[in-house]
Amino acid sequence: MKALSGIRRQKSSAQLLTAALLAATTLLSTSCATAQQASPSTTTSQPKPKPAEVLALLTKVNDHWQATHPAQVRSFWDHAAYQTGNMAAYAVTKNDKYRQYAEDWAVFNNWQGATSTDKANWKYKYGETPEYVLFGDWQICFQTYVDLYKLKPEPIRIARAREVMEYEMSTPQNDYWWWADGLYMVMPVMTKLYGVTKNPQYLAKLHEYFGYANSIMYDPETGLYYRDAKYVYPQHKSANGLKDFWARGDGWVFAGLARVLAELPAADPHRGEYLSKYQGLAAALQKAQQPEGYWTRSLLDPAHAPGPETSGTAFNTYAYLWGINHGVLDKKTYLPTAMKGWQYLTTTAVQPDGTVGYVQPIGEKAIPGQVVDKNSTANFGVGAFLLAASEMYHFTKK
């Protein structure tokens, strides 16, 4: 009976997706085409989307990305961040080509991040060459490898992840997560590997490394995170003399904490601490949201680099929806924030052909004068949108 039920659910999901693609794509394309490209709608409320509409848009975006970008690319952070969204899309659509795309990428990279085998030379400051095995930008790929392992538990899929992270945890250093992005890149690796190994050291080191990150990047006055220690106020200020919090940086942290809480055991002794930081970010980011639904690149100084930015907005929208869906954020308080973010994403960020626009290019700060427009897209921005869309789909099903 369980197998039959599963078949019925998959059949129902497939029928829903087919109908959605036939009936909703024209409507969605028209909506995207007529939206103001530089000045998003200021509407702050909208009806709850229909599941079919969300699935149709998610599918349109991911199909467009995969049709125009081969899976055979390196396992560095930007591609790996896309794959976190791709796996979320697979989870809600059960579209096997999404799983296959992720697996083709993993196989191309031999289920590895950085490839050096000389542990004595492994490094963890910034670097894109093989010896930077301990640098989190080469470890985010392990999230997708674990997800694929759970679908088909072949040891090779997580062997390198375990080798790298268990070596890292054996060292006396605790300053591995020295930049905000790293909290998204690696915190969920720890909870995911704990889930498949039950090795308690993953959770102990998660807390230890998170404590170091908080000691250098967390601002208790605002509840926000600086991108890294060199941006701490007052040694660094925004163009107008304010604290300069990078939107995508705080989006990385907010989304990363949601992903940690999703897999952290309920009885973990530090769960309350992660939840407190997550809820603090929810409150702080709500204050910084623009009326049009997006977050500007410098959160507290919109004039520093004005205009829409999609990656931070999508990560935030995902994290708000996750909290609402799991009962850790008050729906009455935060649903309007999530819905304004979704409105921006669906009427301004997503273009008629499924491109996700207004994504700030790879960087680490808000840059005055940098052009970010409808043609500005990137793999990690698409991944962030897929996370938000997947969580919105879960919301519509409630």
C-beta separation of 93 from 389 below 8 A: no
9: Cβ contacts below 8 Å, ≥ 6 apart: none
Look at residue 350 and give its three-state secondary structure.
Answer: strand
Residue 40 amino acid letter: P
CA–CA dist 325, 319 (Å, integer): 10
C-beta separation of 345 from 28 below 8 A: no
36: Cβ contacts below 8 Å, ≥ 6 apart: 348
CA–CA dist 54, 166 (Å, integer): 39
CA–CA dist 75, 85 (Å, integer): 15
The residue ranges of DSSP E strands in the chain, in sequence order, are 218-219, 224-225
DSSP type of residue 384: H
Place of tokens 């409630």: 398
Among residues 313, 372, 320, the alpha carbon closest in space to that of 343 is found at: 313
| 181 included as an active-site residue | yes
Q: Is 111 left (phi over 0), alpha (psi -120 to 50) or beta?
A: left
Q: Is 235 left (phi over 0), alpha (psi -120 to 50) or beta?
A: alpha
- Give me the residues paired with residue 350 across strands: 356
Active-site hit among 96, 104, 175, 181: 181
> What is the set of active-site residues?
181
